[in-house]
Amino acid sequence: MVIPVSHDPAAYARSVGLDPDKLPRHIAIIMDGNGRWARAQGKERVEGHVRGAQSVDEVTEECCRLGIGQLTLYCLSSENWKRPKAELDFLMALLKQYLLGERQKILDQNIRFAVIGRREGLPEEVLTEIDENTALTRGNTGLTLCLAINYGARAEIVDAVRAIAERVKRGALDPARIDEDTVGGALYTAGMDDPDLLIRTAGEMRVSNYLLWQISYAELWVTPRFWPEFGAALLHDALRDFARRERRFGGLAQ
């Protein structure tokens, strides 16, 4: 579905019972429970990943309708390489299929595509499609769809420290001038807003090495529903709850 140019995100938000002035700019999601959903349905684990990709499509489209600035999805953690090779091969094939199959829709929806994580270990054909989508959408001005692939927050911070240390070593940076902006600018997410809302599915009460620096003041919302069950209605529930939160960022209530 292509959202028409005349679409009014604020009017749409009100039509589904959301306050457009209280929506997050950036939503991050830990998409958990594909395998458990599949087992509960008597299906193979890979079927959960296929159904989970449909949830990605539905949530992305809904964020476009609502005028959300960025959606960051935890697709593959650096720890997920411990899974069986057959499952990993399927995930890489599914990812390639998604990158190719959704390309035109991403372009039509004015979505800016981005990926964070280490490139090492990803198949060359997947990297090619990632780079193609990134290049084709660089000038788009709608939703930023950011996929965290082969991502781990501790690895991201290590890479940032290394990059900063190299600048110090070259004499390009005085250690005394290193501040939070310096660190933030060296992360994979440099130039992106921090998430306002972190959603986790499947009821797990942990952040699983995801955006540890960036979610310092994010609001957390956890649902027991598995990711393949997640869609626009549950997203609306999370957004309504977010709108009721009082975000003080360490200060006092007004």
Helix (H) or strand (E) holding 46: helix 45-66
Catalytic one of 21, 57, 80, 150: 80
Known catalytic residue: 80? yes
Tokens standing for residue 97: 């299929």
Distance, CA of 117 to CA of 233 (rounded, Å): 30
Alpha-carbon gap, residue 62 to 56, rounded angstroms: 10
Encoded amino acid at 61, one letter: E
The sheet carrying 112-116 orders its strands as 112-116, 144-151, 70-77, 26-30, 197-200, 219-222
Any catalytic annotation for residue 174? no
User: Among the options 8, 19, 21, 32, which is catalytic?
Assistant: 32
Q: SS3 sequence, 200-251?
A: ECCCCCCCCCCCCCCCCCCEEEECCCCHHHCCHHHHHHHHHHHHHCCCCCCC
**DSSP secondary structure letter of residue 123:** -
| Residues involved in catalysis | 32, 80
